[in-house]
Structures are given as structure tokens and as C-alpha cells.
């Protein structure tokens, strides 16, 4: 962690993205910050104004998961208390639920994907509504809802969406319906342990108190697996101290780059971003470059970058930093290509929709003349 490079010049210009424009924070310099009232929800994307848009598809369920589900019950979250402790309890509870399912310790990418998906849920500031929508969904709607969450993230940040591929793979596999029961149990556990309270505030400051994805991965992996990967959860309190020591009492000049050569899920970035906000600086004004060897942890860092509001200038590379010194530069080139590809796909979709609307209108006019 001591290799964090705070003052290297930025290597790439800001990328135009949906998250690029955001209001300047105005927060007291004192640390820790005094509690502040949560701001009113912002209409960043249209889906925020339509709480029932996700997890409410009218189409029939997939044949593989037609079995009726029990009458949904209201999920009341437990008392949150300290967000750091709550994040750890959530990760441990999710791991216990997953290991108790028929899948055991196999495919830990699935519970991590569920936790990350709920953290990315685009409806911010409507915790009770979101909990109701998710908990009352059918199995098909639940799985489709997670697909839509990741599609929404990709549409806004294709560079981070591509890095999140290890979290999305299971949702496109054949026979995904067989995993619906275990996915629902994990979802209910995460909701009960306050995932939306921890990550569902409209203000990124209030949803950056803990790294729920890191706690989940740490709880799911065996001790031997963590040792083999060299993967350890850095205590958030230690990250906070290091961030204050490295950044100091004055915010760096805008455009400076924060570099993490072995960043895990980005816990050090979380601490640095919060300290910048305490200094009345906006993390979106800086460049964040993270390398991580393990693909699932890198995917978690990509999700966290959105949840924590790090802004448009985030580059996450996956690979061996010691063996490949060009990871960051290659990730920068790939990011531009991903944005171009996204724009082409969305342009094609818009053209297809316009053509369908034109055909429907022509059919209507022809039918009216025939009458």
C-alpha cells in the first residue's frame, strides 16, 4: 500500500460519461465528519424515477423455474450500527447462507455477484421500495433484475462493466434457473443485513463507509485460498490512517493520479476518496488507477468505483503487476475502445427501435386507409 502514487501526472484526459458531472461537495474539514442529513435523491437516470422498472418484467417465467415461490414476507433489516461492523456481519452472513445452500463452497462468484448487484442497484434513496420490489419478485424477475442492473452499469460505464464480467457470467449460463433458490436465499440475507442501507444513499459519501464486497469475498474464501492468492482484507481503519498520512491536510491539485499496484477491491481508494471529501474536494476531479491480480477482486473494485462515486477517470487493470509493467497503459487503450463499442451498440439499438416504430406507424396508417 505504501506504493500509492499520489502526485504522478494524469496519463489520460477525462472520459465523457454519465457520472462526469456532479455537484461539488461541501463538507466540514474535521475528521471524522459530523453526521449530515441525506440529500434529496438526484434524478441521474430515468430508472430512479420509476422504482418498479427493475424486477417487474411482465413476461412469463422461464420454463426451468416455473415452480411457484412461497408468499413473500416483509424483510426487515437488522440494526446497522457502525457501518464497518455491519459490512463485516453482512459478508459473514452471506457466506454462511451460501455454504448452507446446495452449492456449498462452489462458485463463490455468485454470492459476490449478488452483493455487488444490490450495491449497484440504481434506485438510490428508496430503500423500502427497492426492498419490497426485490423481495416480492418471482424467480425469473429476480434473475432478470440482476441482469438489468449489470446492463445498466455497462451502459453508463462500459470500461468498468467489462471488468465486472466475472460477476455477470453466471447470469448468462444455461440452467441458471437451477441456482435461483440459492440466489434468493443470499439476496434475502443481504437485504436483511442492510445492504441497501449501506449502499443505497443518493450521496456517495454516505455509501462509502464500508467495503461490503471485500468483506464478502474474504468471508467466502477459505484461509488456504486467501494465502495462495496473497489476498488479505486491509482493515478500513488502517486504510483511513494511511490515506490521511499520504494525502495530508490539503487536497492535491486536480488531475493528480492515485495509483494502487495491488489494490484488491479498492479499500485504499475508498479511504482516500472519503478523506478528499472531508477536505472539500471531489474524487471525480482525480485519476484512479488500480491493478489487481485476481479477476473477482478486480471486478469488485470496478463495482465499488461506481458505488463510491470515484468519477469518470477510473482505470482498473487485471494482471500481474510485477510480471507485466504495461497493465495500466493497456487498460487505458482498452477503455477508449470499450466506450466506442458501447456507443456503436447503443446507436444500433436506437436505429432498430426507430425502424420498428416507423414500421408500426406505417402499418397503422395503412390499416386506417383500408378502413
Lookup: cell for 113:
455477484
DSSP 185: H
**Nearest residue to 262 via CA among 215, 229, 227:** 229
User: How many other CB atoms are there within 10 angstroms of residue 333's CB atom?
Assistant: 11
Average pLDDT, the chain: 78
Which pLDDT score is estimated for 104? 54
- Element holding 171 (H helix, E strand): none
Higher pLDDT, 4 or 158: 158
Q: What is the mean pLDDT of residues 61-71?
A: 39
Which pLDDT score is estimated for 363? 65
Which pLDDT score is estimated for 353? 73
Q: Is the pTM of this model over 0.85?
A: no
Q: What is the mean pLDDT of residues 161-169?
A: 94
Q: What is the mean pLDDT of residues 192-220?
A: 94
Domain-wise residue ranges, the chain: 46-339
Which pLDDT score is estimated for 369? 55
Is pLDDT above 80 for 318? yes
- Element holding 114 (H helix, E strand): helix 109-119
Amino acid at each position: 500500500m505504501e506504493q500509492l502514487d499520489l502526485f504522478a501526472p494524469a496519463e489520460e484526459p477525462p472520459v465523457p460519461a454519465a457520472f462526469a458531472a456532479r455537484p461539488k461537495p461541501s463538507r466540514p474539514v474535521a475528521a471524522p465528519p459530523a453526521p449530515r442529513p441525506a440529500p434529496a435523491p438526484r434524478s441521474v437516470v430515468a430508472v430512479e424515477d420509476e422504482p418498479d422498472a427493475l424486477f417487474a418484467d411482465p413476461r412469463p417465467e422461464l420454463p426451468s423455474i416455473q415452480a411457484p415461490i412461497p408468499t413473500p414476507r416483509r424483510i426487515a433489516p437488522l440494526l446497522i450500527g457502525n457501518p464497518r461492523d455491519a459490512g463485516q456481519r453482512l459478508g459473514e452472513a452471506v457466506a454462511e447462507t451460501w455454504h448452507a445452500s446446495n452449492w456449498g463452497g462452489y462458485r463463490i462468484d455468485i454470492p459476490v455477484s449478488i452483493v455487488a448487484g444490490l450495491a449497484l442497484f440504481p434506485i438510490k434513496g428508496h430503500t423500502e421500495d427497492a426492498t419490497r420490489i426485490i423481495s416480492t419478485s418471482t424467480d425469473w424477475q429476480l434473475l432478470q433484475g440482476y441482469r438489468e442492473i449489470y446492463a445498466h452499469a455497462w451502459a453508463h460505464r462500459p470500461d468498468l462493466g467489462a471488468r465486472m464480467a466475472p460477476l455477470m457470467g453466471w447470469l448468462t449460463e444455461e440452467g441458471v434457473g437451477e441456482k435461483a433458490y440459492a440466489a434468493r436465499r443470499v439476496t434475502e440475507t443481504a437485504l436483511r443485513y442492510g445492504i441497501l442501507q449501506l449502499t443505497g444513499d443518493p450521496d456517495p459519501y454516505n455509501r462509502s463507509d464500508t467495503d461490503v464486497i471485500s468483506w464478502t469475498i474474504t468471508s467466502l474464501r477459505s484461509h488456504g485460498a486467501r494465502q495462495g492468492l496473497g489476498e488479505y482484507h486491509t482493515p478500513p481503519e488502517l486504510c483511513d490512517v494511511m490515506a490521511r498520512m499520504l494525502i495530508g491536510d490539503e487536497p492535491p491539485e486536480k488531475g493528480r493520479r492515485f495509483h494502487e499496484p495491488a489494490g484488491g477491491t479498492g479499500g485504499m481508494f475508498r479511504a482516500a476518496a472519503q478523506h478528499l471529501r472531508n477536505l472539500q474536494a471531489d474524487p471525480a476531479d482525480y485519476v484512479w488507477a488500480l491493478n489487481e491480480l485476481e479477476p473477482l477482486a478486480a471486478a469488485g473494485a470496478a463495482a465499488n468505483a461506481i458505488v463510491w462515486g470515484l468519477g469518470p477517470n477510473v482505470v482498473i487493470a487485471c494482471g500481474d503487476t510485477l510480471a507485466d509493467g504495461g497493465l495500466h497503459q493497456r487498460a487505458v487503450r482498452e477503455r477508449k475502445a470499450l466506450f466506442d463499442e458501447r456507443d456503436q451498440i447503443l446507436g444500433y439499438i436506437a436505429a432498430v427501435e426507430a425502424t420498428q416504430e416507423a414500421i408500426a406507424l406505417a402499418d397503422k396508417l395503412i390499416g386506417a386507409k383500408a378502413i
